[in-house]
Chain A
Amino acid sequence: MIKRVSVWLDNEQHLAYVILVPALILLLGFAYYPAFQSFRFSMLRYNLKLPNRIKFNGLDNYIYVLKDPVFIASVLRVLYFMVIATIAVMVISLGISLVLNKKFRGRGILRAIVIIPWALPPVVNGHLWKWIFNGDYGALNGLLLQLGIIKDYHFWLNNSFVALNLAVFLFVWRYTPFITILFLGVLQSVPGQLYEAARVDGAGVFKQFYYITMASLSRIGGVALILTLIASFNVFDGIYALMGFSESTKTPMIYNYELTFEMGRFGRGSAMAYLVGFFLFLLTLFYIRMSFQKDKI
């Protein structure tokens, strides 16, 4: 018997299946089963506080969510968030990676410093910035007052639009190091001879930047763009630590959490999760396609 099993496992394909089994069981148990349950919930009238009134209601939850003004507002808010955050992350990361790609004294220390915001847990980041933005004793007010930029303390987070932009800032601050490291990895693999050859051919700084630097970064830039879009759409911990369930920074993720776990509306919450998941699926599809294209080259 053991010999037969051993012979069967000699086939690489069979061995691969066997090795995959534990991972598959875990995936089924911890990802697909909850996802299936969630899908089932999304078709039910399921309010945790009315456990005796659970019943099938088809697509009603999806229709409700799509018409829910709070959800619509949260989608518009996150679209703004994604656009501003992604542009800022890409531009700032590019700038920092170009600087860090140069040789200068203290470059190693600077690289370590740049990674710190990424290394800090998002909740810690959120609380840290909440303290900095505090209107009564926050460091930002102290700094701006000493520099003579403001005359009175400001309550930065009270204005909804400012609060949303500060949440964007918080995301940019945390996510920029990750993209910077991605860019830096590519930049360091660009041979210096390319620039020398370009200079010999009479290319100026801008042409070198456009035709060599940007061309080198174009593929990883696409991946970075999609990753940033996904991350900015998914952002939760930092904003929650900074603003809680405040309406001014309520993204679909935060509203989904509030609807499901604060209000106990598992049916609507699950439907919203699937709608949000569908959008993320599209973004992920782009990401996978880009990754495959990269692999083909």
Chain B
Amino acid sequence: MKKLFLVLIIMIVAISAFAAGKQEIVKEEPKPDKLIYITPSWGAPSEELVAKFEAKTGIKVEVSTLKGADLKTKVMQAAAGKVNPADIIFVGISDLGTFGSSGILKDLNGFVPDSIFDKVAGANFFEMDGATYAVPMYQQMVMIDYDKSALEKIGTTAASIKTWKDFENIAVKLKEQGIYEYPLAMAVRHWSWYLIALSSGSTLFDKDGNPTFDNPSDPAYAAYKQLINWFKMGLISPERLTSPNAHPSFWAGQGAFHQGWQGSLAIANNPEKSKVAPNADYLLLPEKHFTWSLPAGLGISSYTKYPKAALSFIEFMVSEEPQLFSYEGNGMFPSNKKVFADLGAQGKIDGWGAMAEQAKYVIPLPYNTPWFAEFETELKNSLLRAAKGEVDVDKAIKDLGDFTRSLQAEYK
């Protein structure tokens, strides 16, 4: 009896100690030696900012800068192995569906205080199936910027561009007059198509997510044809098929129109970075004006041991100084509401008026679905095949529609 009593006492003590230990783990997060933050170059803070964070919190941060594709691979590999790729993960909106559905990101609802979410704009972009996977780091409404001086040379202004046909006519004129060999610094890629399609009044998908773009009466159908036609007319450099990044060519003064973003004038009108400066301006998108947004945020790995420390870094990254650094260095428009309001009030945001007007016409694309990334991959290939003449444009659109439906069915 005594022995049994002794065993029971030991068991109770052991269970209590274990439970207490457990509680302690939940309550007290160990202080990390360092945090790892993976990001593409444009999401990286300066060394001075990292040092400031360390001085303030005593936490070291290793910023690992990767190319976008490599970042995705690293995160996917970690998700498959259920290990931590980094404590803080840069989440571009294009990766949201993939990262969110793979379980690698921690749901920030209930973990990140409302005070942080209230401070930033666009947290809703990172919502997926009731969870929120990132704190917005920058906003990125897609816009068009252009070289005012080029239009002056042919005696016109941006105000004359009401339709995409007007846009095309000006581009043709610029080419014919030899002002630019390739007036459109745009790629034959998905984003260019979205831009034309959305502003022409298409939503690409209906409210249930079914494709509408392959209906010949949908403006997206004509937009697809128009983009391929611009390429065939020589308005877009053939080099854009293999090197789709058109930004450097615009900043090098090799194009009149450019698919930019909210904040891109900070670079285009910076004489140290752009030959177009100070003549770049935003163009309100023609026709129905609609566009979409490509924001990015900071997420916390589901497998990090230091979620609270990661959160403190995220809070730092959306504070004033890093937000200003990101805007001034990379043209990334601050997500911090106070920062962008102050910049606007001080007249420091180039094109503030046009930006505010364009912001009235933003519609969401289904980035928060698991199938959208694969749709975009096929879309890119589809546009390239059509541009190269390997497939008829009508067939390319029909094939894309069929592909999308079968893809969606797989994910239902």
Contacts and interface: CB of A to CB of B under 8 A. Distances in A.
A48 B79 contact: yes
B235 to A, nearest CB: 15
A135 B239 CA distance: 6
A126 B249 CA distance: 21
Given A50-B101, A246-B242, A158 B77 contact: no
Given A134-B239, A155-B241, A243-B242, A49 B98 contact: yes
A49 B384 contact: no
Interface stretch (A24-32, A112-120, A190-198, A258-266): A258-266
A134 B98 contact: no
B305 interface: no
15 contacts: A48-B98, A48-B101, A51-B101, A130-B242, A136-B239, A155-B238, A155-B242, A246-B242, A247-B381, A261-B72, A261-B73, A261-B76, A262-B377, A264-B76, A264-B98
Residue with the greatest number of chain A CB neighbours at <10 A, chosen from B80, B102, B377: B80
Contact of A247 (B77, B237, B384, B411): B384
A223 interface: no
A49 B101 contact: yes
A76 to B, nearest CB: 16
Contacts of B72: 261-262
A263 B374 CA distance: 6
Residue with the greatest number of chain A CB neighbours at <10 A, chosen from B239, B371, B374, B388: B239
Interface string B399-411: 0000000000001
B103 interface: yes
A1 to B, nearest CB: 35
B97 interface: yes
A157 interface: yes
A160 B390 contact: yes
A257 B249 CA distance: 30
A136 B249 contact: yes
A49 B97 contact: yes
Interface of B: 69, 72-73, 76-77, 79-80, 97-98, 101-103, 237-239, 241-243, 249, 254, 370-371, 373-374, 377, 381, 384-385, 388, 390, 411
A258 B102 CA distance: 16
Given A49-B370, A260-B76, A261-B72, 19 more contacts: A48-B76, A48-B79, A48-B98, A50-B101, A130-B242, A135-B239, A158-B242, A158-B388, A244-B69, A247-B381, A258-B377, A261-B73, A261-B77, A262-B72, A262-B377, A263-B373, A263-B374, A264-B98, A264-B102
B377 A263 contact: yes
Interface of A: 48-51, 130, 134-136, 155, 157-160, 163, 243-247, 257-258, 260-264, 266
Contacts of B254: 136
Nearest to B242: A157
Contacts of B242: 130, 155, 157-158, 163, 243, 246
Contacts of B79: 48, 264
Contacts of A261: 72-73, 76-77
Contacts of A264: 76, 79, 98, 102
A216 B263 CA distance: 67
A264 B390 CA distance: 28
Please name the 6 residue pairs, one residue from A and one from B, whose CB atoms are nearest each other, closest first: A49-B370, A155-B238, A49-B101, A157-B242, A135-B239, A261-B73
A37 to B, nearest CB: 9
Nearest to A245: B377
Contacts of A246: 242, 384
Contact of B238 (A135, A243, A245): A135
A243 B243 CA distance: 9
A15 B72 CA distance: 45
B239 A51 contact: no
A136 B377 CA distance: 25
A247 B97 CA distance: 24
Contacts of B241: 155, 157-158
A51 B243 contact: no
B237 A136 contact: yes
Nearest to B369: A49
Contacts of A136: 237, 239, 249, 254
B388 A160 contact: yes
B373 to A, nearest CB: 8
B385 A135 contact: no
Contacts of A134: 239, 243
A272 to B, nearest CB: 15
A187 B243 CA distance: 44
A260 B80 CA distance: 10
B389 to A, nearest CB: 10
Contacts of A266: 80
A238 B381 CA distance: 20
A163 B241 CA distance: 12
A51 B101 CA distance: 8
A266 B238 CA distance: 35
